[in-house]
Amino acid sequence: MSVHLEQISSNRCHGGWLTRYRHRSATLDCDMVFAVYLPPQAETRTVPALYWLSGLTCTDENFMQKAGAQRLAAELGIALVAPDTSPRGEDVPGDPEGAWDFGHGAGFYLNATLPPYSRHYRMHDYVVHELPALLEAQLPLNNRRSISGHSMGGHGALVCALRNPGRYRAVSAFAPISHPMDCPWGQKAFSRYLGEDESCWAAWDATRLISEASERLPLLVDQGEADSFLKAQLKPEALQIACTAAGHPLNLRMQAGYDHSYYFIASFIDDHLRHHAAALLD
């Protein structure tokens, strides 16, 4: 039996359609909302998809409303898929103190192993396996996929690509949490989702995964030099050092004057779309 997709809204955009859906996720054991932009080409054939993973506190709506990606995606013939950033619902545990950097809106795109989070917080499996299988079965999407994201979602995009060789044709990130084992956001999330044994954390840290990556997808990373989270949380220099040591191709672009906001993302999203199109449409 196919999973039911409940349409929440649909808007015409640059000749295509931006639609939000709700469905019951077996992986996360809760209802989930996501958004898909289908370019005009999807009316006559299947199209490849770029999966976008958003950052802390975000939902599927941030990217679709603020990045301005639909115009070029329509021109290129690429679908955009934006899942939520964590499981949601009354039965899904969040931060016991109500903090914004853990729990709801902060799933970190990993598979939690520590109760009570292990029941629902399996965002890695949801993004990598369940959601693409659902969409490729019910929407005009083919199996050509790429992945990108911002901040926590940039971390997720890098990790999803590094852990799943052959799954994606391209990867990029904006201001990713590059070395979560060595920053407050990552340490808080990893200790609660995975436990205190730091040896279990390396499997979810892009900087640590680079050395053992069996696939060398070129990484495009944009980072604003005026980003207030740059030094304490994001640590792109750690990723650069790891890539240099492993011979992994990395184009790290430090952008003067840009911060952590969607103004930054909107300024360079076209470069990223073309980066993905080169691999998705070859």
222 given a catalytic annotation? no
pLDDT category at 167 given cuts 50, 70, 90 is: very high
Does residue 1 surpass a pLDDT of 70?
Answer: no
* pLDDT digit string, tens, across residues 34-66: 999 999 999 999 999 999 999 999 999 999 999
The closest of 108, 148, 150, 147 to 260, measured between CA atoms, is 150
pLDDT category at 112 given cuts 50, 70, 90 is: very high
* Cα dihedral 159→163→164→168 (10° resolution): 30
**What is the per-residue pLDDT for 50?**
99
| pLDDT mean across residues, the chain | 97
Q: How many residues does the chain have?
A: 282
Mean pLDDT of 67-74: 98
- For residue 236, whether the previous peptide bond is cis, meaning omega lies within 30 degrees of 0, is no
Does residue 2 surpass a pLDDT of 90?
Answer: no
Catalytic, out of 60, 205, 222, 227: 227
Q: Is 111 helix (H, G, I), strand (E, B) or coil?
A: strand
Two structure tokens written together for 132:
């693409």
Q: Are 29 and 120 in contact (CB under 8 A)?
A: yes
**What is the per-residue pLDDT for 185?**
98
14 given a catalytic annotation? no
Mean pLDDT of 98-123: 97
DSSP letters along 148-188, please? Answer: EEBTHHHHHHHHHHHHSTTS-S-EEEES----GGGSHHHHH
Cα→Cα distances 277→1, 144, 170, 173, Å? 33, 10, 9, 15
Catalytic, out of 104, 120, 260, 272: 260
Mean pLDDT of 151-161: 98
Taking the C-alpha atoms of residue 35 and residue 192, their distance in angstroms, rounded to an integer, is 29
Domain limits, the chain: 6-281
- Which CATH number applies to 6-281: 2.60.40.1120, 3.40.50.1820, 3.50.50.60, 3.40.50.920? 3.40.50.1820
227 given a catalytic annotation? yes
* pLDDT digit string, tens, across residues 187-216: 999 999 999 999 999 999 999 999 999 999
Does residue 226 surpass a pLDDT of 90?
Answer: yes
pLDDT category at 221 given cuts 50, 70, 90 is: very high
**What is the per-residue pLDDT for 282?**
82
Two structure tokens written together for 95:
């931060």
